[in-house]
Amino acid sequence: MYEKYSVLFVDDEVYILNSLRRGFMDEEYQCYFANSGKQAIDIMEENEIHLIVTDMKMPIMTGLDLLNIVEKKWPRTVKIILTGYTQLPQILATINQVDIFKFVTKPWLLEELNRFIRKGLDYYILKEQNLEYQELLEKKNESYQNILKRMDFLIEDAKKRCQILGSCGKAIYGFQKRYSLRDRITFQNVFSVEEEIYEMICNAVVMEKKKCSAKELKILCQETIESIFEETTLECADDLNGNYEINVDMFKTAVLIILLIFEEEFRMSGIFGKIKCENKFKLSIISPKIQTIEEKSADDITSLDVKVEFAQCIISEILSQIPFKFQIIIAEGSLVIGFSLDNATIT
């Protein structure tokens, strides 16, 4: 039971140390012996001592001086003092300064001293076990705290996701309400994709941001566009530098929605893309000399007008959750759709 524990005996009288050495030579615990406080400290510097038994009255360094040092440097070591009745003032001083497990008065019996040592080692083992239980409890508490934090994060994430889905749903519903039933029938090629777009948003809504480089963003854009338009040309600047922290899934979904809304125009007039990265990452999707679908409403609104309004309505709602700015313009007969990062660069 005590094989891995050690006891240090300290006394300036050689015959007492020899008596202790003979008396405890067959004990389970390992014994060390020192004839001065200095030698005791040297032994403790080199060996792990679990219990120290020291005489109170010693020259140069008293037992109280020694135990004060032990208390500061090895506070877990159990301390037993051998003392005489005439040393009461020192006993009181020691009690006030040092955590003493037991005072053993002289003359002492070997069996009695051994019993106190074993009790002292039991006390050390108990403290050791309590410390292990405390560390285990702290680890479990930390684990529980992490679980609670993760639950809070998931709940908050779910709330934000619901808010995004709700705001996107309201945007789609609000867009519908702007048009009469006749208009919705006239422009059914626009309104027929609403459900598909909302499903895409539902599958993409995550709040997690990821770190990626400009080159990784370029590959993402290229793969996303080519997943629908295989022959697309994507011009890229040579200086694609910088790192970004963005909601990748939401950005990818925004690009896919644009490709879906304007799919007819892109297939009729062609599509190519440009990526620049001067001060911030910019993606432009361009359809040159765009050919418009001829449906018009009673108010002379074209299908392209409706698509532009729909794209601005839903994409702006999506990109409000990520650091991208969005713009659609029709210039010199070309449709130009731009995405640019806003304050997303990270170091």
Q: With helix as H, strand as E and coil as C, how does 222-267 read? A: HHHHHCCCCCCEEEECCCCCCEEEECHHHHHHHHHHHHHHCHHHHH
pLDDT tens digits along 223-240? 999 888 887 888 887 777
Band (51; pLDDT cuts 50, 70, 90): very high
Mean per-residue pLDDT over the chain, rounded: 85
- Phi, psi of 98, rounded to the nearest 5 degrees: -130, 145
- Phi, psi of 243, rounded to the nearest 5 degrees: -125, 150
pLDDT tens digits along 274-300? 888 777 788 999 998 776 555 555 566
Q: Cα-atom radius of gyration of the chain, to the nearest Å?
A: 40
| pLDDT for res 121 | 94
Q: State pTM to two decimals.
A: 0.59
* % of the chain surpassing 90 pLDDT: 31
Q: Residue 172 burial by CB count (10 A; 0-12/13-18/19+): exposed, middle or buried?
A: buried
| Domains defined for the chain, CATH in brackets | 6-134 (3.40.50.2300), 178-341 (3.30.565.10)
Q: Which residue has the higher pLDDT, 12 or 164?
A: 12
pLDDT tens digits along 70-85? 999 999 999 998 887 5
| pLDDT for res 347 | 46
Tokens standing for 274? 């440009």
Tokens standing for 205? 């809504």
- The full DSSP string for 260-323 is HHTHHHHHHH--EEEEEESSSEEEEEEETTPPPP--B-TT--BHHHHHHHHHHHHHHHHHTTTT
